[in-house]
Structures are given as structure tokens and as C-alpha cells.
Structure 1
Amino acid sequence: MPTQTGEDLIERILAHPGDADLVGPAANDLLSELYAGFPVQNLVRLLHSGDDRILPTAAWLLSELTDLAAPLVEELPPLLSHPIRSVRYDAVAAALVIADERHGPLIARVIELSHDPESGVRWKALEFLTEASIEQLEAGAACLPPGQLKDLTEWLIRQDGDEPDLTGIVHRLEDGDAVSRLFATAAAASLSDEQDTNLLEHAVMVEEEEIRSFAEERLNELRGSA
């Protein structure tokens, strides 16, 4: 059977939006085509199909393309606000890779997902806060309105300095609200290494499942590399 082209695969996804048995393999093949040089701009057809059954596939493809998705960075804002959880989740993953200091409003929207109603999306926002560059965080902070998220983002940025607020991190993990604990966990993950996992060990004791599971995952990675 001849290999399907990128155009054929897009048509297949558009024609069978509710059929996971057809769409899943087509999406995987399309990802390979995109890595092989099929222009990423063709994903706009999926992103703008108007069918919410197709949008999760399009968002997943963006998240898997890493920096190849950069030409479509302006497609991310509506995805970050979409009611489908997996779309928001994958949009955060894409933003981490392709948003930079020029995209402050976009990064601010990602930071705002730290209080998303879905635990899985908050987990992904926590990963963003942990992995984002200082330049990304600064750009996002500059576009946040005055309030808790702006204050916490600026506090998180300061933890990259020579004298991180270790006492403050522990205090936020133990006594802060859920959003404060999430930012403190990002700081704890950033500052922990194989020799010192004390901050992450505090984080695994919090009640929020997304924070606890994230901290456990980072601890396991550090212990595995020790």
C-alpha cells in the first residue's frame, strides 16, 4: 500500500473526526511527515476545522513538534482557553518550547492556568513554571495584572539568584494556599539535585495530587540519576 502524503493524512483526519482507530494512526503518520518536511502551516486546517473532535489531535501534534511548531505560535492563545482539557494541556507543552520573551501575553495565559479547574492542566502549568527560562517567566510576569500570580511569578524568578528563599519555599509548601504551593514546588524542583532533595521531599507531603505526583516524579528522576 503506498505511503499516504501529508495532504492525504489531513484529509483522513478531517473525514473521520470521531474514529480513534483511524485518526490515531493517521496523526502518528502525519507527525512523521511533518518531521520529514511537510510544512507545519498545513496544521491550520485542523486547528480551524471548527470541529472540537479534531482539535485535540491538532493540539497534540503541536505539542509533539517541539520547535518545528514555532510558525504556529499565534495559534496557541485560543487553545490555552479551550474548554477541552487535553487541548489546554497540549497547548502548555507547545508554549514551553516555542514561546519566548516576545510572547509575554501568551506566557501570562499559561501562568494563569496554575489555577485551572482541572488537576492535569495545573500539573502541566507546574511543569512550565519549573522548566521555563527566566526570560520566559519575566515576559509573562510583565503581562500579568497586579495580584497573587504576578507576585508569585516575580518571587519564583528571584529564586534563580545567588540567595534563594529556602525558608520561604518551605513556608509556602507547608502553609500557603494551593497556588502558592504550586509555585513553591516549581522553585523546589528547580533548586533540587541528586545531593539535596529536601525541598522536593516537603512537596510530596502536600495534599494537591498534581503537586504531589509532580514532586514524586522529580524525586524519582533525581534518585535514578544519583
Structure 2
Amino acid sequence: MVDLMQAQAGEDLIERILALPPDDVLGPAANDLLSAFYAGYPADNLARLLHCGDDRILRTATWLLSELGDLGAPLIDEVPALLSSPILGVRYDAIVVALENADERHGPIVAQVMTLSQDPESAVRWKVLEFLSDASLEQLEAGAASLPPGQIKELAEWLILQDGEEPDLGGIVIRLEAGDPVTKLFAAAAAASLSGPEDTSLLEQAAKVEQEEIRSFAQERLNED
């Protein structure tokens, strides 16, 4: 239950952000608003910033949503529009929101994330790779079921099969070495999902791929291990 003081503090912060001039810094107010959400101010109030029509505020609002984890669940219906945004940072952060809050009921959202494996921006493709590596089997299955026939659906279904008892280890290597960019991205996701501290060979293979987003992602995971 949100007390009146918390609610008023949240309202004041949203009004403050909306009133900031274009050349002002949003960060301090945004951080205060994030704290207000953590303190119980309902996350669905963030919709006011998402729909304010100001791209600068939209970027900040999407970042806030990505920082809320499962507290952002009430705003899951906002995600498709965010994933379609022409703003790189909005698409990037919306993928985080999808990973945290989409489930088997949100197949079209997961499918939309999978489709961003073809995004022109390397940073967005990097985030899609992270999504594919960390998503639950239920999320992947829901996404694959919602995709139209074509390459991405085939790759999504192949990725799901790697969660079985007999993953296609040789096929992962072949796809990493000789696949097109999208195929390599899905193969890298499989490599990340199957790698562990005792066997990093697939990630090591992914770290040799030409595409920067795959190479850097694989290297980051290797460093974690």
C-alpha cells in the first residue's frame, strides 16, 4: 500500500521531469523517481513519461522501466512499441524489460525481440544475444510459436532443441564458423547457454567470430567464468 506522502513524492517527480527544459539534465530526477518506485510508488505511473511525446524523456523512461525488474510487469503492454522505436537506446532497454517480464503469454513480444537479431545496430543485436542466452525455455518456445515461417523461426526452434539431452554441438560450431550473421548470433546464444566453468570451448569458438557483438559478448561470458 502506497502512503499519500510516497504517492505525492512520485507525482511531483514525474511533473518535475516533464517540466525540465530540453537542455537540463534528467538524471538526478530520474534516479529519485527510481527510488520512489522501489519504495512502492506504482510503476504504471511511468506510462505518463512513456507517452509524453518527448524522445529525451522516452529514453529515460525506458531506462527506468528496464531498471525496475519484475516491478515493471504492469507495463508489459508498452514493450512492443518500445521495441519498434527508432531510438537505439529505447530498443536496447526494452529488450531488458522483455527478458524480465515476458512469459509464455507474451509470445509476440519474445518473437519481436528475436526479430531484432536483424537490427542494424550492433548494440541492439548484442542485447538480443543476451536475451537469447538468458531467456527461459518457456519464453523461447512462446516466441518461436509466434514467429512467421522463415529463417528466424527455424533458428529459434533449433535453439530450443539445444536445451535437450543431446545438443547439436557440432552444428553450433559449424553455424559459428560458416553461418550468416543471424545464424551466428543464434549459435552464439546456444554456445553461451551450454557453456560452463568446466567447458568453455563453445564460447571460445564464439569469441573468434568476426561480428563484434558476438565476439565481445562471448569474451564477457568467458571472463565471468
TM-score scaled by length of structure 1 = 0.95
Inter-partner Cα distance in structure 2 for 1:55 and 1:124: 19
Which residue, out of 137, 142, 151, partners 1:148? 151
For these two proteins, the number of residue pairs brought into alignment is: 219
Alpha carbons 1:70, 1:98 under 8 Å: kept: yes
Which SS does the other structure have where 1:146 is aligned? coil
Residue deviations 1:70-93 (CA, integer Å, cap 9, x gap):
000001000000000000000000
Report matched runs for 1:102-141 at 5 Å.
102-141=105-144
Question: Residue in 1 aligned with 2:16?
Answer: 12
Deviation at 1:19, TM superposition (A): 3.8
Question: Residue in 2 aligned with 1:177?
Answer: 180
> Displaced runs of 4+ in structure 1, greater than 4 A?
none
| 13 and 161 in structure 1: CA distance in 2 versus 1, 3 angstrom threshold | same
Deviation at 1:18, TM superposition (A): 2.8
Which residue, out of 78, 84, 87, partners 2:87? 84
RMSD: 1.2
Alpha carbons 1:129, 1:186 under 8 Å: kept: yes
Please say if 1:48 is aligned against 2:51: yes
Which residue, out of 81, 95, 99, partners 1:96? 99
Residue deviations 1:53-107 (CA, integer Å, cap 9, x gap):
2100110011000000000000100000000000000000000010000001111
Alpha carbons 1:59, 1:90 under 8 Å: kept: yes
Q: Taking every aligned residue pair, what percent have the same amino acid on both sides?
A: 71
Q: Which amino acid aligns with 2:131?
A: F
Gaps of 5+ in 1: none
Alpha carbons 1:17, 1:53 under 8 Å: kept: no
Gaps of 5+ in 2: 1-5
| 63 and 17 in structure 1: CA distance in 2 versus 1, 3 angstrom threshold | farther
Inter-partner Cα distance in structure 1 for 2:147 and 2:178: 24
Which residue, out of 168, 171, 181, partners 2:171? 168
Q: Which amino acid aligns with 1:74?
A: D
TM-score scaled by length of structure 2 = 0.95
